[in-house]
Chains A and B, each alone.
Chain A
Amino acid sequence: MDRHLGRVATDVLVVGSGGAGLRAALAAHDEGAKVVLVSKGLLRMSHTRMSGGRFQAVTGFDPEDSRDLHFKDTMAGGAYLNNPELVQTLVDDSLDRAYDLEDFGLIWGRVDDTEYRVVGVGGGTRLRLLGAQDEGVGIAETLINQMFARDIPYLEYVMAIELLMVGSRVAGAIGYDLLNGGWVVIEAQTVILATGGASQLYATNSGPILNSGDGLGMAFRAGAELIDMEFFQYIPISFVYPQSIRGYTLLEPQYYGRRHWDVDGEPGHLLNIEGERFMKRYDPERMESGTRDVLAQAIFSEIRAGRGTPEGGVYLKADKSIQEIFLKERPMYVRRILENYGPGTARFDDPLQVTPSALYTVGGVRIDANGRTSIDNLFAAGEVSGGVHGANRVGGNSLPDIQVFGFRAGKAAAQMALAGRNPAGQDLDKPADDVVKRAARRVQPIGRNGATRVAQVKKRIQEMMWDHVGVIRDGAGLAETLDRLSGLRKSIDNGIQISAVKTLNRELQEYFEIDNLLDVASVMTSAANFREESRGAHFRSDFPEVRDEWACNIVVQNQNGEPSLRKRGLKYAKAS
């Protein structure tokens, strides 16, 4: 495809090259639609690729497991705020999508010629995780190879900036070609957002540098409903240093003791700088085997109280007797620990330094079982969508999520595009004026030589989000953050410096991203401020208990640039 066209027309536009976007592109193509996939970086810069590749599906290899149990585990993990229809779809389709991946060229780990190796996870009751040594890389490569085999056109370095609207329906997107510098208009019958989460809201995060909530920002500005945005999953333990890897997940404390392989075993021990096993003050019953949210809150509190290490973490003492089995199951982690913390730590002679980190955007664009959003012709799948995981995500559910809903969104978007194919050219010659104006405003600061660096603005957002809208939140901090965010939004263009370079202008890209980060931050902060209770991944120190009146979802929508919030009743009555 000619990169310099500036104008591209297709049936289905897929935004994002992670597992959801690629799966959607394959499904839409197989349905007979013309597909174009755009990604703002290289195809391989995705969050899927960073994952451990553990895929939750009821395979039948654990005779006591059932789809019913998978459903229940997922609902319980999500504190029953999940959309039960989405969870049922996830549970019903996940094995088929796992088989698809094997048909596509991935090989799941097995114990026998035709029997998969299944393992357990925190929050799951049975052995239900498929996995393989090639982790997320294998899944991403497999899908990319399939996209190549179908010759689906893709545009790397094209960042979608705004959705194009015709009336009340989406009709494509306006993107910026970061490789050559310039606008690209992509006309499409249907658009699938698969842009991933917004872990860049926090400096200590486990995701790729590109996860800046672009799809969330675009959908919000276009008027789509966002749901469960107050919930962000924090992994309790991650690397503290070096800077480059800070925040990258170190799994769970149970992996560092026998607990992960033996339900009667002990997890690894968390110690503060005084050598105290502090979990006894937070969760004396479960200690380090507790849920991710409680662990993250405890570690966060210890560090904040000054009982952390000089580097800003706490210690995790591993059980030396598990090193062989740990190496066998997680060789990549042993290598990472070796390279970053040294051989003594990799042999578990010395403790690891760990800190909580931002892992997963639980909420997102509200979808139905076919990935349809509240806006006509707009679909979403994967981390950008919301409703599947409720108030918190169970480990191993994100990969089936991207495959199941990527597939469904791709298929549905293709069918809709083919059914409603408008004559070429249609009415897009005059895309909504405000979108074009808004887009044009974005590039005004190019070449400006102010005193403020884009990187500094991003750091400011990340710091305030971590301090006030992170692991532990309270009303005063949330309200203050909302004020500061809107102040930042107003002043951002004053004195900003953006390089004038045309090819691969990283500063311009980050400037575009900040726009999305600010929108997502204000949505998340408003929702967190609204929900006056603690539930799932959302912890309020001023409302530390679950409160019955908050057994509901919060839906956020754009109203003249500001988030407007409302409660939405649950469809699922908690099974007693």
Chain B
Amino acid sequence: MLRHLNVSVYRFDPAKDGVPRYDTFSVPAFPEQRVLDVLRYIYENEASDLAFEFACRTSRCGTCSVLVNGRSVLACQERAKPNMRVEPLSPPFPVVRDLVVSRQQVDDNRKRLNLTPVGLESTQGGIPSERGPLRISEEKAEKQQLINSCINCQLCVTECPAVHLREFEGPMLMAQLRRLDEHPVDRQDRAGQAVEGGLYECFSCDICTEVCPVEIPLADQIRHFRQDILFGDGS
């Protein structure tokens, strides 16, 4: 049985270091160990200045995303490997320090696109006299919920080949725009926003669907969008 894991961790402080380096650690192995367990061990016992991020430990907060042996994963979800290299998410995200990247651009994009249903008066706090459930079919409701369960982990954006090669805002935002396009009260031109964000830059390769830790069929959202633009969505 394995006794120790051989872990190589990316270290970089833009304020001090000219180039990144890799520190190697030997970490005791135990059954069912996660990458997050390894990082916490290193922080608690070896490198107390290691910068890494996590909060929920169970794929809800989406903040522990890292690259393990070159593949983007959630540290809390991925099993530890006997030999592994842990790195921050690759571009488009700038490194803040060590394994932490800045996601400010993502939230700025979300802000710019306004991912709330626009077209309702009561979103601004006024309470209508007659209130009740929104009219939406059970099937459509479940679809809304599925896309709204996106944890904002950025794994799909990191692995999307179109994001790296073209002007594309990535699968996550396309799916969110698609959700709002189908929302019963939203009246904004979501298809227009999507096309502007690079809807037609997507290669339709399904890598995003494959990496999504909460199994949202992201590539299908983009296809649905293109289909609707071609034929109209019947509304």
- In the complex, A95 Cα to B141 Cα: how many Å? 19
Which residues of A lie under 8 Å from residue B178 when comparing CB positions?
A: none
Given A30-B124, A208-B61, A501-B13, the answer on whether A107 and B145 have CB atoms closer than 8 Å is: yes
Taking a contact as CB atoms under 8 Å apart, the answer to whether B131 and A506 are in contact is: no
Task: Let me know if B125 is at the binding interface, CB within 8 A.
Answer: yes
- Across the interface, name the chain A residue whose C-beta is closest to B78: A339
B residues less than 8 Å from A454 (CB atoms): 48
Interface residues of A in 238-275 (CB under 8 A from B): 241-245, 248
Q: Residue-by-residue, is A90-116 near B (CB-CB < 8 Å gives 1, otherwise 0)?
A: 000001100110111111111111111
**Which of A137, A138, A339 is close to B77, meaning CB atoms less than 8 Å apart?**
A339
Q: Looking at the complex, which of A140-148, A160-168, A466-474, A478-486 is the stretch in contact with chain B? A: A140-148
Q: Which of A145-191 contact B (CB under 8 A)?
A: 145-146, 148-149, 151, 179
A321 CB–B CB distance under 8 Å: no
Q: Are B56 and A141 in contact (CB under 8 A)?
A: no
Q: Is the CB of B31 within 8 A of A103?
A: no
CB neighbours of B124 from chain A (8 A): 30
Contact A44 B62 (CB under 8 A): yes
Contact with B115, one of A108, A135, A148 (Cβ below 8 angstroms):
A148
| A107 with B148: CB separation less than 8 A | yes
A488 is an interface residue with CB less than 8 A from chain B: no
- The answer to whether B61 and A27 touch across the interface, beta carbons within 8 angstroms, is no
Q: Indicate with 1 or 0, residue by residue over B138-155, a CB within 8 angstroms of chain A CB atoms.
A: 100110111011111000
Contact B61 A45 (CB under 8 A): yes
Smallest CB separation, A422 vs chain B (Å): 25
Contact status A149-B116, CB under 8 Å: yes
Residue of B nearest to A242 (CB): B32
For A95, list chain B residues within 8 Å (CB): 131
Contacts of A27 in B (CB 8 A): 125
Let me know if B48 and A110 touch, CB within 8 A: no
B30 contacts across to A, CB distance below 8 A: 242-243
Known A137-B151, A145-B110; judge A245-B55 contact (CB<8 A). no
Residues of A within 8 A of B111 (CB): 148-149, 151
Total chain B interface residues with beta-carbon distance under 8 A: 66
Answer whether residue B49 sits at the interface, using C-beta atoms and an 8 A cutoff: yes
A111→B30 CA distance, assembly (Å) = 45
Q: Quick check: B44 and A110 within 8 Å, CB to CB? A: no
Residue contact B58 to A245, C-beta cutoff 8 Å: yes
Contacts of B144 in A (CB 8 A): 107
Residues of B near A436 (CB, < 8 A) are: none
A107 with B60: CB separation less than 8 A: no
In the complex, what residue of chain B is closest to A132 when comparing beta carbons? B145
Minimum Cβ distance to chain B for residue A406 (Å): 13
Residue from the list B37, B77, B146 in contact with A243, Cβ < 8 A? B37
CB-CB < 8 A to A506: which residues of B?
A: 43, 48-52
When the two chains form their complex, are residues B55 and A453 in contact, meaning their CB atoms are under 8 A apart? no
Q: B15 contacts which of A105, A137, A145, A502 (Cβ < 8 Å)?
A: A502
Q: A105-B183, A340-B32 are in contact. Are A112 and B62 (CB under 8 A)?
A: no
Chain B neighbourhood of A179, CB < 8 A: 96
Q: How far is the CA of A107 from the CA of B48 in the complex (A)?
A: 43
* A-to-B contact residues, CB < 8 Å: 26-27, 30-31, 41-46, 49-50, 95-96, 99-100, 102-116, 132-138, 141-142, 144-146, 148-149, 151, 179, 208-210, 241-245, 248, 336, 339-340, 453-455, 497, 499, 501-507
Question: Would you give 18 A-B contacts (Cβ < 8 Å), ordered by A?
Answer: A26-B125, A42-B53, A44-B55, A44-B63, A45-B56, A45-B63, A103-B122, A103-B123, A105-B117, A112-B138, A113-B135, A134-B149, A149-B115, A497-B48, A501-B13, A501-B49, A503-B96, A506-B43
Closest 7 CB pairs of A and B: A30-B125, A45-B55, A134-B149, A242-B32, A499-B49, A133-B145, A148-B111
